[in-house]
Amino acid sequence: MSSPDPVAPDHADLRRLHAEARHLTGRGAFTADLEDPPGTLHLAIGRSSVSAGRITRLDLDEARKSAGVVAILTADDIPARRLWNAAGDLPLIASGEVGFHGEVLFIVVAETRPAARRATLLARIGTSPSIPLTDLDDAIAHDATLLPDQTILRGNAATEIQRCDRRLIGQLRIGGQAHFDAEPHVAVAVPDAAGGVMIRASTEDPQAIRHVVAAALDIDMASVTVETGRIGGLAGSRRSGSVRWAALAALAAMRTGRPCKLQLDRTDDLAASGPRPDFRISYSVGFTDTGLVKGVDLVFAGGCGRGLDAGPAMIDRAMLNSDNAYFYPSFRIAGRRMRSNSAPAGSFRGAGAEGVLAAERIMDHIACSLGVDPLDVRKASIFTGAKDRSLAGLQTESAILGPLLNELERTSVYRKRRKDIAAFNQSSPILKRGIAIVPLKYGVGSAIDNDAAVAVALEADGSIRVAHSGAEAGQGLERRIRLVVANEFGISPERVVLSEGAPPATGPSSTDQVLLAAIDACRTIRAALHDFIEETMHVDRERVEFRDGQMKLGHRSMSFADLAGLAAAARVRLAATGTHRTGEIDWDTEKATGRPFHYHTYAAACAEVTIDVMTGERRIDRVDILHDVGRPIDPAGDTALVEAGFMLGVGWLTTEEIVHDSAATLMTGDSLAYLVPTIADLPADFRVAFFQSGGNREETAWRSKDIADAAILPSIAVFCAISDAIGSLRPGTMPRLAAPATPEAVMRAIRALADGEV
């Protein structure tokens, strides 16, 4: 039998998989690339031009007369439930009140997409505007919250901080991040003769779409089928963010009786899709002369926008990750869910990275006040064997974290480079360099992506077909499924085919859960094969081995394809559904108790940058990343994840700035105003390596670790290095640098130093 925890697969298999990958050759199709069903109608959304107020007039007569228009739908056309979020405060189509600039007011259904878009311009809309809460600062000033504040406690942080001879207070501003996806949101809905609807959507959560569509249309969930292939949202937007667009396409299809396609353009997508929450973080910390942290008080005020989508969960994750790699003997971590007149905040890759950044900001501030190397401060409070409990009570793996950081310190030549940089800064008045090395810890797994199902079918020719509840968003999920399934039967991964049919009905699924569900299904089929072998060939299962496309029976062998053919002819059941759910995850948000994560993954990153103090521009000179991936399933894929995740983080922390004006109107709502990273932002010297650990101590496929979300974290070293470069202008003073560290933000921090602001 195949080992449950094999070593990494042969690299020849990986090369074959990579070489045949459709998505590397331009042949892979996102939802928007698929051919439209015959007779498809196209949708365009009519958006609010104000951020807050009441709709006093909605005259759509001229729009209805526009050439090519088939129908115009408003909230009154929704048969039943008109809301798309579980909390019940976000409408599919607004009626009465408007909550943010860009909110959907009506839908035009036309023969062509241009005709639908032209018709939206003919609507005559009257509103009675009210004063909006323009941004997070405005929400904090008005104490506007969506939910009660949450707090996580250990000991009495205020008392412990007061006892310390050394204390600091500070603030950190972190901007949000828009979903600048590979394809904007898209969904195609086709009505069927039985009164149901089939939806092809770019989504991570088919089950949520089925729930919302059935409730909105007042039909049974069994009448709603959702299919999804490779999704074009690479950073979390395809969870709840995809639900409303699929529901609106389904509404139009059921009203018109024809297939309907809703594909947002980039401007509509940026305006109406919820971004990553922005944060205002305040902290106070007490510590010793050696930099050892004794007590921490942190308050996370996060922007949830106009309603309850994923914002509260993102704030919770920031709180739970706010110790990063450090043991806090005493702490108070508070979270505030703030309301403003902007699009409701959505899910985002690397949820909770804001907490990690806050922890690193505290370490840099301590080092600045003591006048010591920040690495020494980090090492003073890093988790150790005696102190290896995270603030949520989950045991950390200090035996990995400390050695991992030490190894990167050595391989990156950090100490020598810091001395060289100090000498350079002494002689360079315009260009300043900075360097930072940070340890990183990230909690993997949560209650919202903790359920998976996979259907596996062994065909008579020995090939295998798989349907799964996960979503391929570029993280290499399907490649990993093929490797894992192939290993279970000892065949080539090329013989495993991923079906794009409707997956089993579950919610969003993480890679870990999908892979374990796949193994569960495979072992059900393998057990049936063993029973067949024992009955017909009289060979005990302990003597049977599946390897290299063969069934090994001691010195005898049979091809796996022949075995599959014999079993199929004998009517052996060769299809199974596997499921997996991690029962240990039981975090209670209200009580702040339980287990929030399945396990932790770890990394360390060293970044070196150069800034121009006259313009605020920066260059990333070198980045070294050492990542813990457990026992990797796909080393090449993991390397790509780290590189891509790092660049996504570079955008969040250095270039991607969301700006609203005084009326809460989005000013960065197109591809010219919103600046994502380009090839020019890549480090000139980029090094990625994996830490050799013994594998994940928790149950995962092959004892691997899922790093798709954690891959953003190494970019935090770039932000810290930029702050270090600015700080060289006035040693001993902590720069007031906000994220993203755009050239404007860098210049504001430099001017604040010059003006003596601390």
Angle at 436 between CA 433 and CA 442, to 5 degrees: 150
CATH 3.90.1170.50 intervals, the chain: 36-131+180-272
Give the model's pLDDT for residue 387: 86
Q: How many Å apart are CA 69 and CA 63, to the nearest integer?
A: 8
Q: Which residues 6+ apart lie within 8 Å of 98 measured at CB?
A: 48, 50, 51, 52, 53, 54, 55, 105, 127
What pLDDT score does 163 carry? 96
Residue 87 has pLDDT above 70, yes or no: yes
Structure tokens at 6: 């094999």
pLDDT band at 32 (very low <50, low <70, confident <90, very high): confident
CB 434 within 8 A of CB 367: no
List strands edge to edge, sheet with 53-59: 97-98, 53-59, 124-129
Question: What pLDDT is recorded for position 499?
Answer: 82
CB 228 within 8 A of CB 503: yes
Buried b (16+ CB within 10 A) or exposed e, 414-453: beebbeebeeebeeeeeebbbbbbbbbbbbbbbbbbbbbb
Give CA–CA dist 704/8, Å, rounded.
10
| In the predicted structure, residue 22 carries a pLDDT above the cut 80 | no
* Phi, psi angle pair for 460, to nearest 5°: -65, -20
This prediction has a pTM of 0.93
Q: What order of strands is seen across the sheet that includes strand 599-612?
A: 431-444, 599-612, 618-627, 685-690
Measure the N-to-C terminal CA separation of the chain; round to a whole number of Å.
64
Among 391, 411, 410, 388, smallest CA distance to 400 is for 388
CA distance 66 to 62: 6
Contact partners, residue 437, CB within 8 Å, separation at least 6: 374, 375, 378, 405, 408, 409, 412, 414, 604, 605, 606, 607, 717
37 within 8 A of 190, measured Cβ to Cβ: yes
CA angle 433, 434, 438 (to 5 degrees): 160
CB-count exposure of residue 388 (10 Å: 0-12, 13-18, 19+): middle
Superfamily (CATH) of domain 36-131+180-272: Aldehyde oxidase/xanthine dehydrogenase, a/b hammerhead (3.90.1170.50)
- Residue pair 300/333 in contact by the 8 Å Cβ criterion: yes
Name which of 703, 669, 284, 634 is nearest 475 in CA terms. 634
Residue 324 CA to residue 201 CA, distance in Å, equals 36
Q: Residue 124 — left, alpha, or beta (φ > 0 → left; ψ -120 to 50 → alpha)?
A: beta
- The tokens describing 586, both together, are 């039981």
Query: What percentage of the chain exceeds 70 in pLDDT?
Result: 94
Q: Mean pLDDT over residues 455-465, rounded?
A: 96
Mean pLDDT for the stretch of residues 44-55? 95
Instruction: Considering only the C-alpha atoms of the chain, give the largest distance between any 2 of them, rounded to a whole number of Å.
Output: 87
CB-CB contact of 602 with 666 (8 Å) = no
Residue 611's beta-bridge partner residues?
A: 432, 618
DSSP, res 630: B
Is the pLDDT score of 581 beyond 90? no
Distances in Å between the Cα of 636 and the Cα atoms of 494, 632, 639, 701, 715 are 17, 9, 5, 17, 20
pLDDT at 756: 77
Counted residue by residue, the chain has a size of 758
Which amino acid is residue 347, in one-letter code? S
User: How much is the pLDDT for 506?
Assistant: 59
pLDDT of residue 20: 44
Neighbours of 56 (CB within 10 A): 9
What average pLDDT is seen over the chain? 91
Q: Is the dihedral of CA 639, 645, 648, 653 positive or negative?
A: negative
Q: What's the mean pLDDT in 105-121?
A: 97
pLDDT, one tens digit per residue, over 466-492 is 998 888 877 888 899 999 999 999 999
Do residues 580 and 516 lie in contact, with contact meaning Cβ atoms separated by under 8 Å? Answer: yes
Decide if 241 contacts 221 (C-beta within 8 A): no
What percentage of the chain exceeds 90 in pLDDT? 74
Angle at 324 between CA 582 and CA 475, to 5 degrees: 55
Which H helix or E strand runs over 598?
none
List pLDDT tens digits, range 608-644: 999 999 999 999 999 999 999 999 999 998 999 999 9
Q: Which CATH number fits domain 279-446+588-754: 3.90.1170.50, 3.30.365.10, 3.10.129.10, 2.50.20.10?
A: 3.30.365.10
Summarised one tens digit per residue, pLDDT across range 152-187 is 999 999 999 999 999 999 999 999 999 988 888 999
Segment holding 335, helix H or strand E? strand 330-338
- Of the ranges 45-49, 73-77, 317-321, 506-510, which one carries the lowest mean pLDDT score? 506-510
pLDDT at residue 12 tops 50: no
pLDDT score of 229:
79
Tell me, what's the pLDDT at 554? 74
pLDDT of residue 323: 96
The amino acid sitting at 755 is D
| CA–CA dist 211, 219 (Å, integer) | 10
How far apart CA 605 and CA 381 sit, in angstroms, is 17
pLDDT of residue 34: 85
- The answer to whether 154 touches 339, Cβ cutoff 8 Å, is no
Residue 589 dihedral angles phi and psi, to the nearest 5° = -60, -40
Domain with CATH 3.30.365.10 in the chain: 279-446+588-754, 451-581
Could you tell me how many helices (H) and strands (E) the chain has, helices first? 19, 26
Cβ–Cβ under 8 Å, residues 342 and 664: yes
Task: Indicate the pairing of strand 197-201 with strand 464-468.
Answer: unpaired
Mean pLDDT for the stretch of residues 385-399: 87
Higher-confidence residue of 541 and 378: namely 378
Q: Please tell me whether residue 234 adopts helix, strand or coil conformation.
A: coil
Q: Can you read off the two tokens belonging to residue 235?
A: 């950073």
* Residue linked to tokens 């309907």: 260
Cis-peptide, bond into residue 740, ω within 30° of zero: yes
Per-residue pLDDT, averaged over 676-683, amounts to 94
Q: Which DSSP letter does residue 567 get?
A: H
Contact assessment for residue 324 and residue 380, using Cβ atoms and an 8 Å cutoff: no
- CATH number for the domain whose boundaries are 451-581: 3.30.365.10
